[in-house]
């Protein structure tokens, strides 16, 4: 399952994102999306986990406080 994580603090990196999700199950990958021009975080990322762990993580982390910001966590929709 691919999970969208929004409203991340701009200082967040992939390792911190993986650390946040790992208590809910094995994380296949955790990526923070950066701006091509500046290299700065765009404030969102994606985490890949198996389906059961992913659902548990979405349930536990959607609306949770992380670095002073309220996270938006849901199943990622495929790009059009």
**Residue 17 forms part of a structural domain:** yes
Give the whole-angstrom CA distance, residue 33 versus residue 30: 10
Specify the pTM: 0.94
Task: Decide if 3 contacts 61 (C-beta within 8 A).
Answer: no
**Residue 53 forms part of a structural domain:** yes
The domain that holds 24 is classified in CATH as 3.30.70.330
**Residue 28 forms part of a structural domain:** yes
Residue 14 pLDDT grade (very low, low, confident, very high; cuts 50, 70, 90): very high
Report the number of secondary-structure helices (H) and strands (E) in the chain: 2, 6
Q: Domain span at residue 55?
A: 2-75
Q: How many domains does the chain have?
A: 1
pLDDT tens digits for 21-64?
A: 999 999 999 999 999 999 999 999 999 999 999 999 999 999 99
Give the whole-angstrom CA distance, residue 61 versus residue 40: 24
Bridge partners of residue 44, in order along the sequence:
6
Tokens linked to 41: 């975080």
């Amino acid at each position: 399952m691919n999970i969208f994580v929004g409203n991340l603090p701009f200082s967040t990196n992939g390792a911190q994102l993986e650390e946040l999700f790992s208590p809910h199950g094995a994380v296949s990958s955790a990526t923070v999306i950066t701006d091509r021009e500046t290299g700065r975080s765009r404030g969102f990322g994606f985490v890949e986990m198996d389906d059961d762990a992913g659902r548990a993580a979405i349930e536990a982390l959607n609306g949770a406080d992380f670095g002073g910001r309220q996270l938006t966590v849901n199943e990622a929709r495929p790009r059009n």
